[in-house]
Structure 1
């Protein structure tokens, strides 16, 4: 689905932007700078995906060329998926250099990325969230970034959108995006075409392409 592809693309974009300091370096050059901190290598690491639905699998497909190992957490192990299964997110975080959040929101996952998970991710770890802001304990994330518990974060979603904590805005190792996961020209055109196709099928007495 177009939206799935667009969200997965953004997840990888945020990962690369944090690892290679793309936004921070752009800001430095625009401000007249040239000498910047060293970035982190993007390839050869261990990438973990929390949530292996359509979006999680699309992210995994894109992440595989960058990863030495793919790890994941889902409701159960997936025999058709080439990756290391972890039953809980703390175990997943401890095994990974990059933790990508791609699970649904709701009570079951509220603040599932807490201080303990961030500590398990470690001082070289990067968090990417393209799911829902509710999955991350935002104050714990701010603290972990400020004190070096983790190395950086790429965030497309926040706890209280459109409000973004000033503390996150102040951190150079964080890349922020205003909930743009599926927001592409191509994706929105495909969504509009799907609406028209469903209406056309309904009034023509044919099965709907995406019936609920």
Structure 2
């Protein structure tokens, strides 16, 4: 586990002449698919193989900036192959993930980063990216967290919670079928299981 301190990850804007005011000796700029540019400390790049540096070019990242930040934070703290410090048990029967996460960093990462009002809509994309880049520890952490968050909610409540939708937004049965089709693990993640 690394001590990442203040975490050198920031959103940067282009200046009037199209340049970034970034010390390129210390930071690289990554262009995310939501159009945002993120400044990342070069000290983190070795721990983040999902950022592909290109000489003289700004690397492209195929997910939104919030997803990149989540992956970097996990990789710097635990490593790409790392697992949460909290003991994650399966099957998990809790509705409140705080009963599962006993480590302060894990709890803060889940509640203040992954599930913050600004980032909650990127939860499933972060899971998809974690799977794509082989970050099994992060994926396991997020699957159990998602199951706890959604356990006991009705189908419409689940979709509103995961997608960060307003309560007034109507969800049809076709929408629900599409979620299970697009994310085959979804049904297993939200159903409580018991040992026989």
TM-score of the aligned structures, taking structure 1 as reference length: 0.25
TM-score of the aligned structures, taking structure 2 as reference length: 0.26
Select the structure with the greater relative contact order (CA < 8 A; seq sep ≥ 6): 1
